[in-house]
A = this chain, B = another copy of it.
Amino acid sequence: MDLIKQYQKIRKYTELLCQPLKPEDYVVQVVEFASPAKWHLAHTTWFFETFVLIPYLEGYRVYNTDFPYLFNSYYNNAGDRVLRANRGNLSRPTVDEVYAYRKHVDKKIQMLLNQGVIDDVWSVVVLGLNHEQQHQELLLTDIKYMFGQNPLFPVYDANTFLLNHEINEELGQVKIPEGVYEIGYKGNGFCYDNELGRHKVFLHEFEIDQQLVTNGEYLEFIEAGGYTDFNLWLDEGWSWLEKYKIEAPLYWHKVDGEWFSYTLKGFEQINPQHILKHVSFYEAMAFAEWKGMRLPTEFEWEVASNQFKWGKRWEWTNSAYLPYPKFKKAEGAIGEYNGKFMVNQMVLRGASIATSPNHSRASYRNFFHANERWQYTGIRLVR
């Protein structure tokens, strides 16, 4: 597919995800880590304006000189910005004004692409599209978080496509023999800088589950007192659990002795057959400890990944997010994309049911803080 069509398709998909929203739903920010839908719509647009239109479209003038301040996320090289925690303080620009901004930038990008694309433009547009896809996933998880905190538990979409991917399709273990393996992206397509440079690691023999942990297995952990036995937990995890009085995965509620959870199609009873989601790294580690097993490293995961099905949950690994040997960051703002976050976060591998189509690969490295669980995070075990 050519780049213009790809651009149109991905940009349109973002707006499609917003179709079930009322204007009020675009505005709210419940916590610092989850941004308003309006902000996602505008920020991804700002990305194209800032890194494509301004440097490459001759004569382009910034659409609104206040917007860079409002919609820059974390690029110090791109100037000052609204504090992350304050993104929900902005009722203006309105939703309509943000859609107008999108339309304007889309038109200009297509004008630029029609001029015949030079290499630099091509690579930044592709980065921008991948960036937009990452925000599509965040859009869904942030909306879920906002609705999940509302005592009315609003339905996002009663027929959401996310519903079809809740069951493990295979069971069993895969054994990987010890040896030296290659890690990192290989190929000619797009990848993020953090998937490079491709390099060798030595792995000892291990056996990894083909299936992910289910709600039913996790319920056993809860009922066995998993949340009250400090010996199962990392010290930080135990403090987190005590401070926030954590007793179950995110969105789980016990009503009259039965477990329910909030989902994008509303409040519903926990199905033990379904694959567990919305656990923190701390919970994943405690569960593995309780099972007498462990989480894979990101290298084990990558090596074994062609022998099991993945893509329904982001899977916690026990690897810290660190640079690969020979990792290189780009110059300027684009160099801030990944590298500066390489401390105190854990790597997730795979992809989730909220991941956009064609936005996953075995070498993809996602990363979150150990306490975060508003993504569709799950657990795969190793022995």
Contacts and interface: CB of A to CB of B under 8 A. Distances in A.
Interface of A: 22-28, 30, 38, 66, 69-70, 74, 76-77, 82, 88-95, 146-147, 149-152, 154, 178, 180, 199-202, 204, 230-231, 233-238, 281-282, 285, 318-320, 322-323, 325-326, 335-336, 340-344, 346, 370
B24 A230 contact: no
A28 B202 contact: no
A150 B323 contact: no
A24 B22 CA distance: 10
A197 to B, nearest CB: 9
A243 to B, nearest CB: 13
Contacts of A335: 231
Tallying the copies of this chain within the complex gives 4
Nearest to A199: B204
Contact of A28 (B91, B201, B238, B340): B91
B200 A202 contact: yes
B370 A343 contact: yes
A261 to B, nearest CB: 19
A198 to B, nearest CB: 11
Given A74-B235, A322-B320, A28 B66 contact: no
B91 A341 contact: no
| Interface SS majority for chain A | mixed
B150 A89 contact: yes
A336 B235 CA distance: 9
Nearest to A205: B325
Contact of A343 (B77, B92, B236, B325): B236
Nearest to A77: B231
Contacts of A93: 152
A74 to B, nearest CB: 7
A302 to B, nearest CB: 14
A335 B235 CA distance: 12
Contact of A233 (B94, B146, B238, B340): B340
Nearest to A323: B318
B25 A76 contact: no
Contacts of A30: 89
Contacts of A326: 204
Contacts of A89: 28, 30, 146, 149-150
Contact of A342 (B66, B147, B200, B234): B234
Contacts of A147: 91-92
Nearest to A339: B234
Nearest to A25: B91
Contacts of A22: 23, 91-92, 94
A16 to B, nearest CB: 19
Given A180-B202, A202-B180, A24 B234 contact: no
A204 B325 contact: yes
Given A24-B27, A320-B322, A154 B92 contact: yes
Contacts of A281: 343
Given A88-B88, A91-B150, A93-B152, 14 more contacts: A24-B26, A24-B92, A28-B88, A69-B151, A70-B151, A74-B235, A76-B231, A92-B152, A200-B204, A201-B201, A204-B325, A204-B326, A234-B342, A344-B344
A246 to B, nearest CB: 16
Contacts of A199: 204
Q: For the complex of A and B, list the 10 residue pairs with the smallest distance between their C-beta atoms, beginning with the closest.
A: A320-B320, A202-B202, A23-B23, A235-B340, A24-B91, A25-B91, A76-B230, A28-B91, A30-B89, A200-B202
